[in-house]
């Protein structure tokens, strides 16, 4: 269990910091999807979701487009 600690959240961050962090999450998810290994993608998505929540966000939502 993590002890109570103080941290910056999205509300406290400069808009450029928020944009950089969310862009990093998007890039990580995009790269994980290119590997074509569902386990890697699911693990990356879970870590990204927890990271966003850690900074006070509501998590990550995704949609998948499949080209046939």
pLDDT the model gives residue 62: 79
CA atoms of 19 and 10, how far apart (whole Å): 10
**8 within a domain of the structure (yes/no):** no
**7 within a domain of the structure (yes/no):** no
> What is the domain range of residue 34?
21-52
What's this model's pTM, rounded to 2 decimal places?
0.78
**15 within a domain of the structure (yes/no):** no
**16 within a domain of the structure (yes/no):** no
Which residues of the chain fall below pLDDT 50?
A: none
Can you read off the two tokens belonging to residue 44? 């990356």
State the SS3 of 21-66: HHHHHHHHHHHHHHCCCHHHHHHHHHHHHHHHHHCCCCCCCCCCCC
60 neighbors 48 (Cβ within 8 angstroms) = yes
**32 within a domain of the structure (yes/no):** yes
pLDDT the model gives residue 1: 54
**36 within a domain of the structure (yes/no):** yes
């Amino acid at each position: 269990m993590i002890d109570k600690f103080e941290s910056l959240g999205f509300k406290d961050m400069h808009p450029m910091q928020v944009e950089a962090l969310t862009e990093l999450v998007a890039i990580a998810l995009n790269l994980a999807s290119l590997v074509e290994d569902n386990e890697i993608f699911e693990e990356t998505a879970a870590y990204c979701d927890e990271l966003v929540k850690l900074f006070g966000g509501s998590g990550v939502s995704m949609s998948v487009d499949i080209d046939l």
